[in-house]
Structure 1
Amino acid sequence: MSPTFSAFIGFYPTTDLAATHAFYVGTLGLTLARDQGTCHIYAVAGGGFLGFCLREAVTLPPTVVLTLVTEDVDGVYETLHKAGVKTEAAPKYHAEYGIYHFYVRGPSGERVEVQRFDRKIHL
């Protein structure tokens, strides 16, 4: 029998839980699903969650990317731009992967990608 999973949570370290909360809730519009004191868990569509736990230091390899998928990549880019958040570059199309995307750094240096797929992912 295969297990049935109801959700996914990816946990990441942060040195500043307040700044992380302001970025993911105040700027990106995610919802705080659970406040565990030193860890916050934010809801993302489809049963996914991002968790951030307070740590003294953060060291993430540059290959770790938190990807948020949306049909409105340009709208998110404009929202971040208006909030004074610097992105790595403007949104662009990546033909090899069939995505339209851009990158931004979160409060603890985590690399966040905002993207749209050419074709919907079917489960």
Structure 2
Amino acid sequence: MRPALDQQVTFLYAENPEECWRFYEEVLELPLVQDQGSVRIYGIDGTRAFVGVCRARAPRASENPRVVGGVVFTLVTQDVEGWHAFLTAKGVALPMAPTYSEAYRITHFFFNDPAGYTIEVQRFERPDWPSLRPAV
């Protein structure tokens, strides 16, 4: 039997983490759950998922999120349009409006954090996606 998993943390690395910390705290308004000095970990609303932003020890190998080692950090919400408006009001550069993808049956948009990571805000438009469960 597989052992249970309790939580999930995605760690992103930035050469200038202070700029990213401000972005995740003040722009995305994610709650800071732990400050470890060179790493800050933020909670994702009401879930058992977290994102940590760490001080990088070297420059990023590639800006392309679709190469080996690349990252697309996706935030799932039912209110994609509301997030687009919220981020626009905060002055975040958003290269696309919320768009429906027939191939993946999602509505989404992308933008970048100060370290250049691709962030996607997405809503699944398919009945086979697991429903939300409250965190325990």
> What are the within-5 Å matches in structure 2 for residues 1-123 of structure 1?
1-45=1-45, 46-55=47-56, 56-60=58-62, 61-63=64-66, 64-119=71-126, 121-122=129-130
Structure 2: tracts of 5 or more residues without a match: 132-136
Q: Is the contact made by 1:73 and 1:101 (CA closer than 8 Å) also made in structure 2?
A: yes
For 1:19 and 1:78, the matched residues in 2 are separated by 22
How far has the Cα of 1:25 moved from its partner? 1.8
For 2:59 and 2:12, the matched residues in 1 are separated by 11
Structure 1: tracts of 5 or more residues without a match: none
For 1:69 and 1:81, the matched residues in 2 are separated by 18
What is the DSSP-based 3-state SS (H/G/I as helix, E as strand, rest coil) of the residue aligned with 1:71? Answer: coil
**One-letter amino acid matched to 1:36:** Q
Structure having the larger proportion of residues in helix? 1
Structure having the larger proportion of residues in strand? 1
For 1:122 and 1:89, the matched residues in 2 are separated by 27
Q: TM-score, normalised by structure 1?
A: 0.90
Q: Is the contact made by 1:27 and 1:79 (CA closer than 8 Å) also made in structure 2?
A: no
For 1:59 and 1:33, the matched residues in 2 are separated by 29
Q: Residues 33 and 84 of structure 1: is their aligned pair in 2 closer, same or farther, counting only changes over 3 Å?
A: same
**One-letter amino acid matched to 1:57:** P
For 2:61 and 2:112, the matched residues in 1 are separated by 13
For 1:84 and 1:71, the matched residues in 2 are separated by 22
Structure 1 residue ranges (4+ consecutive) displaced by more than 3 angstroms after TM superposition = none
For 1:89 and 1:50, the matched residues in 2 are separated by 24
**One-letter amino acid matched to 2:2:** S
The match for 2:134 is: none
